[in-house]
């Protein structure tokens, strides 16, 4: 016996996963998480589910009409942690977020306009708001277009994501330790959360160039052990508590740009090296770059002005972030972070989970 649950598979940005309506999942959180693990597949290969045996393809978006007056829909992101049969809802995911507007329209949660539809999304993981602009000619979602993002083949309709208030999303403040630079295990770090908790480190301080390939870094056990030791120490100092079982903070190695961008990155999420960089991870790193006294001082090229287009280089290309900056030169604040993503509906139907995991009754 199996339980059928309505869902869609979508690519959101450079991630892929399952999108559910909240009402179709169990209300009880621990049962819901067991259902999500069964849907994605237990074990490291996720052979018995829809997951792709990698963090970027083991993601879930849970969407519902918003309970708050200032948003259209609520979105909860759930990372099914590959090989560990558990779910982490601590961080946001800005890639999966790129698909929730289309999902909301496809499911009748939002009425599309003719042309472009703006949808305000409350990200339940952090409580922050993002306004999405999606392409809806004739009042229906269009996935076709000529927007291109690194890490995804071909072109699609643009999804513009404007993050309105993401500082301190999980850590409570932009610089959770109160400092632009700290030290852990003798290494200088910047602990920052502008949408995603990230520890920024200079690759050269770890004896690496920061230009290594993803494969090389994934095979670098000494580096990974060192990064994890630093991560576990900094988690509590970033107000995240014990992060042993959490997928945050992410660990981002930076180096001077070498492909025309503003900074070069290699990001661990947190144990595997990202093929590119996460959306909000890139916003956090770009923000670290504009902060005087951060570890990016002297490494990043920093543009001037109140609207700063920052290009964050990563292993498979670059990620453009537009920061609207206020405050003073010494203490800049980010008022808005805008970026381009795309999304595509891949499958609509039911996913099946064994009835002994959930019999379908709330
Ligand atoms: O930082 C990967 C991704 C992400 C998360 C990760 C993301 C974000 O590429 O907002 O998008 O950092 O685990 O999907």
Average pLDDT across the chain, whole number: 96
DSSP E strand boundaries for the chain: 2-12, 15-21, 59-65, 73-81, 86-88, 115-123, 128-136, 159-163, 182-184, 187-193, 197-202, 250-255, 263-268, 307-314, 317-327, 332-341, 343-354
Reply yes or no on whether the pLDDT at 362 is more than 80. Answer: no
| pTM reported for the whole predicted model | 0.89
pLDDT tens digit sequence for 116-152: 999 999 999 999 999 999 999 999 999 999 999 988 9
Structure tokens belonging to residue 111: 């009425």
How many angstroms separate the alpha carbon of residue 246 from the centre of ligand 1?
14
238 CB less than 6 Å from ligand 1? no
Alpha-carbon gap, residue 341 to 320, rounded angstroms: 10
The whole-number pLDDT of residue 330 equals 84
The whole-number pLDDT of residue 329 equals 83
Percentage of residues of the chain with pLDDT beyond 90: 96
Domain boundaries defined on the chain: 2-158+343-354, 182-339
14 CB less than 6 Å from ligand 1? yes
CA neighbor of 88 nearest in space, from 279, 238, 246: 246
Alpha-carbon gap, residue 54 to 46, rounded angstroms: 9
Burial class (CB within 10 angstroms; exposed 0-12, middle 13-18, buried 19+) of 216: middle
Contact 96, 62 (CB under 8 A): no
pLDDT tens digit sequence for 177-226: 999 999 999 999 999 999 999 999 999 999 999 999 999 999 999 999 99
56 CB less than 6 Å from ligand 1? yes
- Is 182-339 the same fold as 2-158+343-354? yes
Structure tokens belonging to residue 204: 């050269």
Reply yes or no on whether the pLDDT at 165 is more than 90. Answer: no
Reply yes or no on whether the pLDDT at 331 is more than 90. Answer: no
194 CB less than 6 Å from ligand 1? no
Res. 318 pLDDT band, cuts 50 70 90 = very high
Residue nearest to ligand 1 atom 2, measured at CA: 278
Structure tokens belonging to residue 93: 């995911």
In the three-class reduction of DSSP (H, G, I as helix; E, B as strand; rest coil), residue 310 is classed as strand
CATH superfamily of 2-158+343-354: Diaminopimelate Epimerase; Chain A, domain 1 (3.10.310.10)
Contact 164, 131 (CB under 8 A): yes
pLDDT tens digit sequence for 232-283: 999 999 999 999 999 999 999 999 999 999 999 999 999 999 999 999 999 9
Q: Give phi and psi for 283, each to the nearest 5.
A: -65, -45
Q: Specify the CATH class of 182-339 in words.
A: alpha beta
How many angstroms separate the alpha carbon of residue 279 from the centre of ligand 1?
6
Contacts for 124 with CB less than 8 Å, ≥ 6 apart: 74, 75, 76
């Amino acid at each position: 016996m199996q339980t059928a649950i309505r869902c869609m598979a979508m690519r959101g940005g450079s991630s892929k996963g399952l999108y559910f309506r909240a009402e179709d999942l169990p209300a009880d959180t621990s049962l819901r998480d067991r259902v999500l693990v069964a849907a994605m597949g237990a074990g490291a290969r996720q052979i018995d589910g829809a997951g792709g045996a990698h963090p970027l393809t083991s993601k879930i978006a849970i969407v519902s009409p918003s309970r708050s007056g200032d948003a259209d829909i609520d979105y909860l992101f759930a990372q099914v942690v590959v090989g560990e049969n558990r779910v982490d809802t601590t961080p946001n995911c800005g890639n999966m977020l790129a698909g929730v507007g289309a999902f909301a329209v496809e499911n009748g949660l939002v009425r599309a306009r003719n042309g472009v539809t703006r949808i305000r999304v409350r990200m339940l993981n952090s409580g922050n708001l993002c306004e999405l602009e999606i392409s809806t000619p004739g009042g229906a979602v269009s996935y076709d277009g000529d927007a291109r993002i690194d890490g995804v083949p071909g072109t699609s309709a643009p999804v513009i994501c404007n993050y309105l208030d993401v500082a301190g999303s999980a850590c409570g403040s932009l610089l959770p330790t109160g400092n632009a630079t700290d030290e852990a295990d003798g290494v200088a770090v910047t602990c920052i959360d502008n949408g995603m908790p990230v520890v920024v480190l200079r690759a050269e301080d770890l004896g690496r160039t920061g230009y290594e390939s993803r494969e090389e870094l994934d095979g670098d056990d000494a580096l990974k052990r060192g990064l994890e030791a630093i991560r576990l120490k900094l988690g509590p100092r970033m107000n995240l508590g014990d992060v042993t079982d959490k997928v945050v903070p992410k660990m981002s190695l930076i180096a001077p740009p070498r492909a025309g961008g503003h900074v070069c990155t290699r990001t661990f999420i947190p144990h595997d090296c990202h093929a590119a960089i996460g959306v909000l991870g890139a916003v956090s790193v770009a923000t670290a770059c504009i902060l005087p006294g951060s570890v990016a001082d002297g490494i990043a090229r920093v543009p001037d002005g109140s609207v700063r287009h920052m290009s964050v280089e990563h292993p498979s290309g670059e990620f453009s972030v537009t920061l609207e900056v206020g405050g003073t030169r010494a203490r800049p604040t980010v008022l808005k972070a805008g970026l381009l993503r795309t999304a595509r509906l891949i499958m609509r139907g039911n996913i099946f989970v064994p009835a002994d995991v959930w019999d379908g009754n709330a």
